A and B are shown apart, each in its own frame.
Chain A
């Protein structure tokens, strides 16, 4: 049984298992979560979903039920607490995945609170078995495990209850989810009897960073399959739960053939610069264009993007200028850019909001690259990630992981990075070292010459290839960037930043 991704969310990045010896999967219907689970929940397993009230347990489990129903399955949702079903359904009705027509047809809500009070765990087990069989349910959600625990007089009784649930899961071909908010999900709690016995544990968490709150999801235990460890970003939107795997945790894509030295070149579209680069940027490499504000970084990036073709589609991720501004700016020197956007050869991903998730941006970027076969990616500029990254110390490894994924897919990436001062004096970058992400470095700067500031470009590094290190002046006019002059030795002019007002 397969389930398509939730609304607005790309599909899982990992493929469903193909070999018949691998365990059968129950797809959650949440693409990012199925990526964390390397293909979905192991079918007929029993899983604890843990989180504080409001963490999203009910939404997550219902979303899985509705995805299962949409794929032709049946689900049983049993509440053990005194929460009224009408209130539960009213809350779910606000979410896009909710489908009232499925209730009492493919999805059955049952309250077992009173029965548990009267007949204890044995009575609950009988009810579950009968209801699962009656509805041919492929999913059982038991909402309120803490209530069941309260009716276990001994630890052994609780273990027996969980064990019998496991038997039931296998015998009834049913995957079981137990929801609980009891205590904290930590190493100590993982020694609890119910935690040691189940096939997997999923922790939902909220963390506050100053004024911001971020949700995350973590697979704490997952028997019978590999999974992506650690914490991963999660959102609750009107579409339901969305999960964005931590970029650093994504499986390493198969590296593209290392042909940096002899790789085909992708022209930047700037004639003189392409000559300095020996024909263009090596295919499949990553380039950082450094420079202070106003130096022409975005213009250079637009030149590169404008060379996209149907055989070599492009994508621009931008943080500071919206796509219509960028298109207007580029229209004078790249008249094909607009039509290419219209016909899907070039895409824009605009992230102008002050808050966002770096992993969502990366996930969507990689998904678009796969979907459209993108070969040219522009990230304008890298500092846009800095304000979104929580915690901030993730950023260097995030960049390494993202550029690594792109490189492995054969994508030629060009990133712009604003610096305050030119190298050689002082400068700052959002990563300790650019080396892992910048195989190629292009520096743009302002220099004072003959009483005016001029823009200059130089190639600082082109990994594995010879390049022309000459410093070249350029202008940005109606034709875009045009290189005009080659300088000789550095001491022929005085370099200074725009903020440098000292005489000389």
Chain B
């Protein structure tokens, strides 16, 4: 079982991912924006972060930057979610481990999570 932090301001996405990942046996933390996510990570270090890009207060790009600049958190795999295609944001934002185009397909989530957690284990 791994601890996964899901960050999204849109109602329903976090709930859906939480339910799916819990069914897969993971512990799921949720946050509504980047700042909220950092607060959650101060309480419990997740094994994986799945975050939306466009959020108020602190967006996914700022959250990713903060994580990569933190000596304690920089090794955590990070999956970025966005409604825009990856080639639109890829030039501006670097450092994520996987990209999820919204609306994402549930069928792909479990496999992606396993892959990212596997990378961490290596």
Contacts and interface: CB of A to CB of B under 8 A. Distances in A.
Given A129-B16, A129-B19, A170 B11 contact: no
Interface residues of B, number: 14
A321 to B, nearest CB: 58
A129 B21 CA distance: 12
A167 B105 contact: no
Nearest to A171: B106
A173 B12 contact: no
B16 A171 contact: yes
Contacts of B23: 130
Nearest to B10: A167
Contacts of A44: 103
Q: Is the contact region of chain A dominated by helix, strand, or loop, or is it mixed? A: helix
A133 B106 contact: yes
Nearest to B14: A167
Contact of B11 (A125, A136, A163, A173): A163
Interface residues of A, number: 17
A172 B15 contact: no
B107 interface: yes
A26 to B, nearest CB: 15
Nearest to A129: B19
B106 A164 contact: no
A93 to B, nearest CB: 33
Interface string B109-122: 00000000000000
A164 B107 contact: no
Given A133-B107, A172-B106, A167 B12 contact: yes
Contacts of B106: 129, 133, 171-172
Interface string B1-29: 00000000001110110011001000000
Contact of A172 (B12, B13, B105): B105
Contacts of B103: 44, 167, 170-171
Contacts of B104: 171
A125 B106 CA distance: 15
A173 B109 CA distance: 13
B16 to A, nearest CB: 5
A133 B15 CA distance: 16
Nearest first, the 3 closest Cβ-Cβ pairs linking A and B are A170-B103, A167-B12, A171-B106
13 contacts: A129-B19, A129-B20, A164-B15, A166-B12, A167-B15, A167-B103, A168-B16, A170-B103, A171-B103, A171-B104, A171-B105, A172-B105, A173-B105
Given A164-B16, A167-B12, A173-B107, 13 more contacts: A126-B19, A129-B106, A130-B23, A160-B12, A163-B12, A164-B12, A167-B15, A167-B103, A168-B16, A171-B105, A172-B105, A172-B106, A173-B105
